[in-house]
């Protein structure tokens, strides 16, 4: 399995459709920040702009997807200077399992877009999130996931229709496929010669090493063992990994293990000794020092504060 798939699997990717909106004339919608989920907007018809943070606005056309991995607050609309409509006013409870479309704005050129909610464990998704731009824009025109999304939303119930069995679950899976396709397109479109985790996915040997590290982070990996698995010599893999990813293999492996440890601290009652062992540390003190360097707090303190926030 490839590294992107491993990260999405371990981080428990989950998607849903929040809104199916059509707007006309001069309009703007404000979306508040979300600590526990990411947002993606898929433009099905027309065009609009999106702005998050201090970066300039991004233009979105029919077939484009904008993914905000960290759930930042943002605005989307035909005129970003117009008085914004709160996103919450666009949300409608499903009727018989079907998402009710909403309209806003006035007359004139119309835009239809769909907002997806994407949930990932942020500690386990950090290698991916850290490598993405604040707003990832990808064109999905002509792809199967975009067609499936449009088809799924195009079906509506008449007064005599029964809800489609599994309709809500199917729409959630389509939302996940749309995001996965957007991420794949972004990786494939990266220019050659780049550095970082995403660039490593496009390299045959580094990508294979990343998949092994993400898939089995608790194993007692050595550079020599990883090299044998991917078909390179020890020195060749070490040099290639550092050149492409921008850091040594073991520095990266340490990060992955600590992110997995953070996930265990948050979601289980396993002892710190057990979590340290799962992360590949023989001594708890060594694990605690490494964890504090990465998360600014010892494991026990971090666990209490993180669970309280959750």
Strands of 14-24's sheet, edge to edge?
102-105, 14-24, 110-119, 38-45, 64-68, 136-139
Cα distance between residue 260 and residue 157, in whole Å: 44
Q: Residue 163 and residue 153: Cα distance in Å, rounded? A: 13
Are 158 and 260 in a shared domain?
Answer: no
pLDDT, position 156: 45
- Domain extent for 268: 197-309
Least confident of 126-130, 152-156, 280-284: 152-156
Whether the predicted model's global pTM rises above the 0.95 cut: no
How far is the C-alpha of 285 from the C-alpha of 272, rounded, in Å? 10
Is there a single domain that holds both residue 172 and residue 235?
no
- Same structural domain for residues 162 and 209? no
Domain boundary among 155, 188, 221: 188
Q: How many domains does the chain have?
A: 2
Assign 167 a pLDDT band (cuts: 50, 70, 90).
low
156, two tokens: 């509506």
- Give the pLDDT confidence of 31-80 residue by residue, as tens digits: 999 988 999 999 999 999 999 988 899 999 999 999 999 999 999 999 99
What tokens does 287 get?
């694990």
Looking at 156, 188, 220, the residue that finishes a domain is 188
Domain match, 232 and 164 both: no
Q: Are residues 78 and 179 in the same domain?
A: yes
Looking up residue 104, the CATH number of its domain turns out to be: 2.60.120.10
Does 124 lie in the same domain as 8?
Answer: yes
Res 89: pLDDT: 93
Domain-terminating residue out of 188, 207, 229 = 188
CB atoms within 10 A of CB 260: 21
Are residues 256 and 120 part of one domain? no
Give the burial class of 142: count Cβ atoms within 10 A of its Cβ; 0-12 exposed, 13-18 middle, 19 or more buried.
exposed
**Spatial CA neighbour of 20 closest among 104, 135, 79:** 104
Same-domain pairing of 44 and 175: yes
pLDDT at 145: 94
88 and 175 in a single domain? The answer is yes
Question: 114 and 228: one domain?
Answer: no
Q: Say which DSSP state 98 is in.
A: B
pLDDT of residue 86: 97
Identify the pLDDT of residue 298. Answer: 92
* Contact yes or no for 201/4 (Cβ under 8 A): yes
Query: Do both 218 and 176 map to the same domain?
Result: no
- Residue 232: Cβ-neighbour burial (10 angstroms; 0-12, 13-18, 19+): buried
CATH code of the domain covering residue 207: 1.10.10.60
Note whether 75 and 96 are same-domain residues.
yes
Is residue 138 very low, low, confident or very high in pLDDT (cuts 50, 70, 90)?
Answer: very high
Cα radius of gyration (the chain): 22
Per-residue pLDDT at 1: 65
pLDDT (mean) for 197-215: 91
In this structure, the chain runs to a length of 310
pLDDT exceeds 90 at position 305:
no
Ranges of H-type helices in 122-219: 126-131, 144-154, 167-188, 197-201, 204-215
CB atoms within 10 A of CB 174: 22
Band (pLDDT 50/70/90 cuts) for residue 158 is: very low
């Amino acid at each position: 399995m490839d590294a992107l798939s491993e990260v999405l699997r371990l981080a428990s990717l989950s998607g849903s459709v929040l809104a199916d909106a059509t707007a006309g004339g001069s309009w703007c919608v404000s979306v508040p920040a979300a600590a526990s989920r990411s947002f993606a907007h898929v433009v099905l018809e027309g065009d609009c702009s999106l702005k998050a943070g201090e970066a300039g606005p991004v233009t979105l056309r029919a077939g484009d997807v904008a993914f905000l991995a960290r759930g930042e607050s943002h605005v989307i609309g035909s005129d970003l200077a117009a008085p914004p409509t709160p996103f919450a006013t666009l949300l409608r409870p499903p009727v018989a399992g079907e998402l009710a479309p909403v309209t806003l704005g006035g007359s004139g050129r119309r835009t239809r877009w769909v907002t997806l909610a994407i949930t990932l464990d942020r500690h386990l998704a950090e290698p991916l999130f850290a490598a993405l731009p604040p707003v990832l824009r990808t064109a999905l025109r002509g792809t199967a996931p975009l067609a499936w999304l449009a088809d799924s939303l195009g079906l509506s119930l008449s007064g005599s229709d029964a809800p489609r069995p599994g309709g809500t679950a199917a729409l959630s899976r389509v939302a996940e496929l749309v995001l996965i396709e957007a991420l794949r397109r972004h990786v494939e479109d990266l220019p050659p010669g780049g550095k970082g985790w995403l660039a490593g996915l496009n390299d045959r040997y580094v990508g294979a090493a990343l998949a092994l590290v993400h898939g089995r982070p608790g194993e007692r990996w050595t550079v020599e063992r990883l090299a044998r698995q991917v078909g390179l010599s020890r020195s060749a893999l070490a040099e290639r990994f550092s050149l492409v990813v921008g850091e040594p293999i073991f520095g990266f492996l340490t990060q992955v293990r600590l992110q997995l440890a953070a996930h265990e601290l948050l979601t289980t009652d396993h002892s710190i000794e057990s979590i340290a062992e799962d992360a590949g540390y023989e001594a708890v003190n060594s694990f605690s020092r490494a964890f504090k360097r990465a998360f600014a707090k010892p494991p026990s303190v971090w666990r209490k504060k993180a669970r309280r926030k959750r």
